């Protein structure tokens, strides 16, 4: 199977390319550039799995929000709970949360893929790349600190 197919994320394509270019050598060890890239790929893949799951669930809940009023009219005699405003509001809130979750992790995935592109396309040495990109990876790993955000600090949120 070729590295260049449209049925992959950008992160997967970059890792497949890098494996052929910088993967394990005759001495058995991979190039440090490949290790740096694969470390980023692990993060990007995790973000991709979360955002894909959130996307499909958000789509399902979004559809439920659209058809809920019709269901409430059709089934109001059978299921009294279906016409409840509380239930309809809860379904809408869950749908909105899932759309926000999808958007949040899609931005994270794109950020990691952009960092991976820098590794693949850069002429910098591995040491220079690592020095420049490791602080970004630390920010990604740190995630979000609610207490710092409340205190008015910059927080440790990963960049969009």
- The mean pLDDT of 82-108, rounded to a whole number, is 90
Confidence bin at 6 (pLDDT 50/70/90): confident
Q: Which residue has the higher pLDDT, 103 or 153?
A: 103
What's the pTM value of the predicted model, to 2 decimals?
0.75
Nearest residue to 16 (alpha-carbon basis) of 25, 4, 26: 4
Domain residue spans of the chain: 10-150
**Residue with tokens 């820098």, as numbered in its chain:** 118
């Amino acid at each position: 199977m070729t590295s260049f197919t449209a049925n992959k994320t950008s992160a997967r394509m970059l890792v497949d390319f890098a494996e052929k270019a910088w993967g394990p050598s005759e001495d058995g060890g991979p190039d440090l550039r490949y290790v740096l890239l694969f470390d980023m790929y692990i993060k990007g893949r995790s973000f991709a799995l979360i955002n894909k799951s959130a996307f499909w669930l958000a789509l399902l809940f979004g559809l439920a929000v659209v058809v809920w009023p019709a269901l409430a009219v059709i089934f109001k005699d059978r299921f009294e709970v279906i016409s409840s405003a509380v239930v309809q509001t809860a379904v809408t809130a869950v749908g909105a949360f899932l759309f926000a979750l999808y958007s949040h992790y899609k931005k994270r995935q794109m950020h990691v893929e952009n960092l991976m592109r820098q590794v693949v396309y850069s002429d910098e040495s591995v040491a220079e790349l690592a020095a420049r990109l490791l602080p970004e990876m630390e920010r990604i790993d740190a995630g979000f600190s609610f207490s710092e955000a409340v205190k008015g600090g910059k927080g440790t949120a990963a960049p969009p």
